[in-house]
């Protein structure tokens, strides 16, 4: 290893992690246990930081760095520390450093265990300037001009990152519903490989599915007394096409990556276990325990093998992009909180479908909650948002089954219902920890689920 990287202290790294937007351990007590540097060039390197939490678990985070002999005004916001008279910055903010990374792909650089891989023969514009994506993100994405986007994984683990593996399979199969994979960066670490970043097609003309959906609910709420199918911003056509696209992605994943089976009893067992640990994290869920357990127990009556395959694993409207010609899906990393080994496991595609159905609830509620809570307007807004949710959930499901070429079997109904409940329980724990203001969204949904209202809504005719 070259001597170039400057040595930063655990305290300096701790301080930077605590204020980094992407740091997944925010709010938890942690210490920097150890860290090491992987050099890229004279002045750019990657710091891998092992963090250990008060609870005993550990995570590794990636920090691409760049050092300058004198402070760079344009990077003032990304300054980490001064070390030995040099200014060290978080490199994703720096055009010069990101150009080094892009060149690494073009030259398929390998050095000191670090490897830049290309998929196929993408045309890379090496002169393109980089821009850091400013949205809410657990990783850091940087766009190069209008052609490609680099996603630097912040939390890294030894093993194959599903984003790399799945995108490679879908890119090779020419799936039109993803941003094609151009390449990835890995680090060889003894017998292990750690995936550090991916480079993929940048969907320049896209709008985030979540934003399109929110705008549609807001349009509806702004229209005095029209129904969702009567307003200009109706989303049902989009929801239907999105359902078809998700199904096509699933079918391609199954073709390219194989299929397995599981059985109702083991699904029931794991959902029941998750329910109990969720109740420990959020005691308010206990109110619904009996009905939810009953629902999960019904899975044991499924007699045929349940087909599983690789799935997205963390599917919601925020992972979709509405492009001019098609819906695109991004972020195949799986549920971020799960260990890597779990995220690689095959699961039922109905888990993804349930994730999207839940997301329609979130979009509806997020928009309706913005309405001034005083007076009648808010009640009206909630009622109409619920109409929007039901209509779009049904349209999405109709699109999915249309691409599938058949309706759901009765036991698939049971399965989908259980996955939707399982997801909602997960959300309640997630919101408790991260966004207490939104906790009422999954809790209200759990109330509907336990009174049997969900089934009715999901299978409503989109009209
Ligand atoms: N290839 C792409 N082209 C255009 N925008 C993208 C692309 N990939 C991601 N985005 C945008 O960046 C956001 C975050 O990307 P994502 O891959 O979901 O990152 P994270 O893993 O941090 O959640 C997405 O919600 C989307 O709006
Ligand atoms: Mg994402």
* Same-domain pairing of 196 and 305: no
* Same-domain pairing of 212 and 162: no
The residue whose CB lies within 8 Å of the most ligand 1 atoms, and thus the one to mutate among 198, 321, 434, is 321
Q: Where residue 325 sits, what CATH number does that domain have? A: 3.90.1200.10
* Same-domain pairing of 197 and 229: no
For residue 337, what pLDDT is reported? 79
Do the Cβ atoms of 391 and 236 come closer than 8 Å?
yes
pLDDT tens sequence across 127-171: 999 999 988 889 999 999 999 999 999 999 999 999 999 999 999
* Same-domain pairing of 226 and 122: no
328 lines ligand 1 (CB under 6 A): no
For residue 4, what pLDDT is reported? 59
Statement: residue 228 has pLDDT above 90: no
* Same-domain pairing of 151 and 219: no
267 lines ligand 1 (CB under 6 A): no
* Same-domain pairing of 233 and 166: no
Taken in order 176, 182, 187, 192, is the CA torsion positive or negative? positive
Q: Is residue 328 a part of any domain in this protein?
A: yes
Q: Is residue 7 a part of any domain in this protein?
A: no
* Same-domain pairing of 239 and 191: no
Q: Is residue 4 a part of any domain in this protein?
A: no
Statement: residue 454 has pLDDT above 70: no
Statement: residue 374 has pLDDT above 80: no
* CA 4–ligand 1 middle distance (angstroms): 33
User: Looking at ligand 1, which residue's alpha carbon is closest to its atom 5?
Assistant: 203
Do the Cβ atoms of 454 and 418 come closer than 8 Å?
no
Instruction: Over range 284-312, report the average pLDDT.
Output: 97
Domain count across the chain? 2
* Same-domain pairing of 284 and 307: yes
* Same-domain pairing of 401 and 416: yes
Reported confidence tier of residue 442, pLDDT bands at 50, 70, 90: very high
Closest ligand 1 atom to 333 CA: 21
**Beta-strand (E) ranges in 281-338?**
306-309, 320-322, 327-329
DSSP 211-279: HHHHHHHHHHHHSTT--GGGSTT--HHHHHHHHHHHHHHHHHHHHHH-EEEE-HHHHHHHHHHHHHHHH
Instruction: Over range 275-297, report the average pLDDT.
Output: 98
* Same-domain pairing of 179 and 222: no
Closest ligand 1 atom to 140 CA: 22
Statement: residue 3 has pLDDT above 80: no
Q: Is residue 443 a part of any domain in this protein?
A: yes
Euclidean distance between CA atoms 86 and 267, whole angstroms? 55
* Same-domain pairing of 83 and 98: yes
Q: Is residue 9 a part of any domain in this protein?
A: no
136 lines ligand 1 (CB under 6 A): no
Statement: residue 183 has pLDDT above 80: yes
Of 353, 145, 333, give the one whose Cα is nearest residue 244. 353
The fraction of the chain above a pLDDT of 70, given in percent, is 97
Closest ligand 1 atom to 135 CA: 13
Does residue 76 or residue 7 have the better pLDDT? Answer: 76
Euclidean distance between CA atoms 262 and 206, whole angstroms? 37
pLDDT tens sequence across 16-71: 999 998 998 888 899 999 999 999 999 999 999 999 999 999 999 999 999 999 99
Which domain covers residue 266, as residue numbers?
207-458
Ligand closest to 147 (CA) is 1
* Same-domain pairing of 390 and 368: yes
Q: Is 420 buried (19+), middle (13-18) or exposed (0-12) by CB count in 10 A?
A: buried
Q: Is residue 6 a part of any domain in this protein?
A: no
Ligand 2 ion: Cβ-proximal residues, 5 Å cutoff:
331
> Quick one: which H or E segment has residue 15?
helix 10-19
* CA 330–ligand 1 middle distance (angstroms): 6
Residue keyed to tokens 């809570």: 373
The residue whose CB lies within 8 Å of the most ligand 1 atoms, and thus the one to mutate among 330, 336, 338, is 330
pLDDT tens sequence across 321-355: 999 989 999 999 998 778 899 999 999 999 999 99
Q: Is residue 162 a part of any domain in this protein?
A: yes
Ligand closest to 329 (CA) is 1
Ligand closest to 150 (CA) is 1
Statement: residue 390 has pLDDT above 50: yes
Instruction: Over range 278-282, report the average pLDDT.
Output: 97
Hey, which residues does 30 pair with through a beta bridge? Answer: 53
User: Looking at ligand 1, which residue's alpha carbon is closest to its atom 26?
Assistant: 208
For residue 459, what pLDDT is reported? 44
Which of the listed residues 151, 175, 201 is the one where a domain comes to its end?
201
Statement: residue 457 has pLDDT above 70: no
Euclidean distance between CA atoms 133 and 113, whole angstroms? 28
Instruction: Over range 296-302, report the average pLDDT.
Output: 97
Between the alpha carbon of residue 422 and those of residues 42, 93, 163, 248, 251, the distances in Å are 49, 38, 23, 24, 23
Tokens of 304: 């045929």
Which of the listed residues 201, 220, 240 is the one where a domain comes to its end?
201
Which of the listed residues 186, 201, 216 is the one where a domain comes to its end?
201
For residue 283, what pLDDT is reported? 98
Q: Is residue 164 a part of any domain in this protein?
A: yes
Reported confidence tier of residue 200, pLDDT bands at 50, 70, 90: very high
Task: Check: pTM over 0.75? Answer yes or no.
Answer: yes
């Amino acid at each position: 290893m070259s001597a170039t990287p400057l040595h930063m202290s655990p305290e300096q790294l701790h301080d930077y992690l605590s204020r980094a937007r992407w740091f997944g351990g925010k709010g938890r007590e942690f210490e920097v246990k150890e860290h090491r540097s992987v050099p890229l060039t004279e002045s750019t390197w990657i710091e891998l930081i092992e963090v250990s939490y008060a609870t005993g678990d550990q995570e590794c985070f990636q920090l691409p760095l760049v050092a300058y002999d004198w402070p760079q005004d344009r990077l003032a916001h990304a300054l980490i520390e001064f070390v030995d008279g040099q200014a060290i910055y978080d490199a994703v903010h720096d055009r010069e450093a990101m150009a080094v990374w892009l060149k690494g792909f073009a030259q398929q650089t390998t050095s000191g265990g670090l490897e830049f891989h290309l998929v196929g023969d993408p045309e890379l514009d090496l002169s393109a300037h980089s821009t850091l994506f400013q949205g809410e993100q657990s990783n850091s994405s940087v766009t190069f001009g209008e052609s490609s986007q680099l996603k630097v994984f912040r939390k890294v683990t030894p093993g194959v990152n599903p984003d790399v593996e799945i995108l490679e399979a879908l890119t090779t199969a020419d799936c039109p519903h993803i941003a094609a994979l151009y390449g990835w960066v890995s680090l060889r670490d003894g017998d292990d490989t750690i995936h550090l970043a991916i480079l993929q097609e940048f969907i320049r003309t896209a709008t985030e599915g979540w934003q399109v959906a929110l705008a549609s609910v807001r349009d509806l709420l702004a229209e005095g007394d029209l129904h969702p199918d009567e307003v200009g911003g109706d989303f049902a056509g989009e929801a239907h096409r999105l359902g078809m696209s998700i199904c096509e992605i699933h079918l391609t994943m199954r073709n390219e990556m194989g299929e397995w089976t599981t059985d109702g009893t083991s699904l029931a067992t794991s959902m029941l276990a998750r329910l109990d640990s969720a109740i420990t994290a959020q005691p308010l869920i206990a109110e619904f325990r009996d009905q939810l357990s009953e629902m999960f127990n019904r899975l044991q009556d499924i007699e045929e093998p349940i087909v599983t395959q690789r799935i997205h694993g963390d599917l919601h409207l925020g992972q979709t992009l509405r492009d001019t010609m098609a819906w695109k899906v991004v972020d195949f990393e799986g549920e971020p909180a799960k260990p890597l080994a779990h995220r690689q496991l095959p699961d039922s595609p109905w888990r993804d479908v349930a994730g999207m159905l839940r997301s329609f609830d979130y979009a509806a509620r997020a928009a309706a909650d913005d309405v001034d809570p005083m007076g009648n307007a808010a009640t009206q807004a909630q009622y109409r948002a619920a109409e929007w949710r039901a209509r779009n959930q049904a349209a999405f499901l109709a699109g999915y089954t249309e691409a599938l070429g058949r309706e759901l079997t009765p036991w698939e109904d049971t399965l989908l219902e259980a996955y939707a409940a399982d997801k909602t329980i997960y959300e309640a724990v997630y919101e408790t920890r991260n966004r207490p203001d939104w906790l009422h969204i999954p809790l209200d949904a759990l109330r509907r689920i336990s009174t049997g209202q969900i089934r009715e809504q999901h299978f409503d005719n989109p009209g």
